[in-house]
Structure 1
C-alpha cells in the first residue's frame, strides 16, 4: 500500500519536474545555444515569476528525491 503511494507520487513529481524544467528560460551556453537560444537580451535580472518557478522546481525536486529514497528503503526491507 505504502509502496504504491510512493510510486504514484514519484510518477507525478517526475512529470511535474519535466514540465517545470522546460518552462525555465535558457541562460545561454550549453544545449540552448545549439538550438538558437543563444540570442538573448540582457534586460535585467530574474523576475518574480522566475524566482517562484525556481522555488517550485526545487520543492518538487526535493519531493522526487524523498520518494526515490523512500522507495529504495521500502524495497530493501
Structure 2
C-alpha cells in the first residue's frame, strides 16, 4: 500500500467519524440524542439559526471530503497511482 492510500484511509476515517457526529448534532423534530445535545448548546432565543447554518456547512464539508476520498481510493487502491 502506498503513502497516498494510507493518507486517504486516515482522512476517510476521520471524515466518516465527523460526519456521523455532526449529523447526530442536528436538531430533529422529536426527542432524541440531537435534542439532548442541542438543548445544552444553545437556547431558542440565542440565535440558533447561525448555529444550524454552521453545522450544515461543516456536515456538507465532511461528507464531500468522505465522498472524494472514496472516489480517489476506488481509482488508486491497488497501486497508489491512477492507471497501471
Counterpart residue number, 1:9: 11
Structure 1 stretches of 4+ with a deviation exceeding 4 A read none
Counterpart residue number, 2:23: 21
Listed one character per residue, the Cα deviations across residues 25-47 of structure 1 (whole Å, up to 9, x for unaligned) are 00x3xxxx5xxx2xxxxx7xx61
Matched residues, number: 64
TM-score, length-normalised on structure 1? 0.73
Unmatched 5+ stretches in structure 2? 32-43
Aligned equivalents of 2:53, 2:63: Cα separation in 1 = 15
Counterpart residue number, 2:70: 68
RMSD (Å), alpha carbons: 2.2
One of 40, 52, 59 as aligned partner of 2:54: 52
Unmatched 5+ stretches in structure 1? 38-42
TM-score, length-normalised on structure 2? 0.67
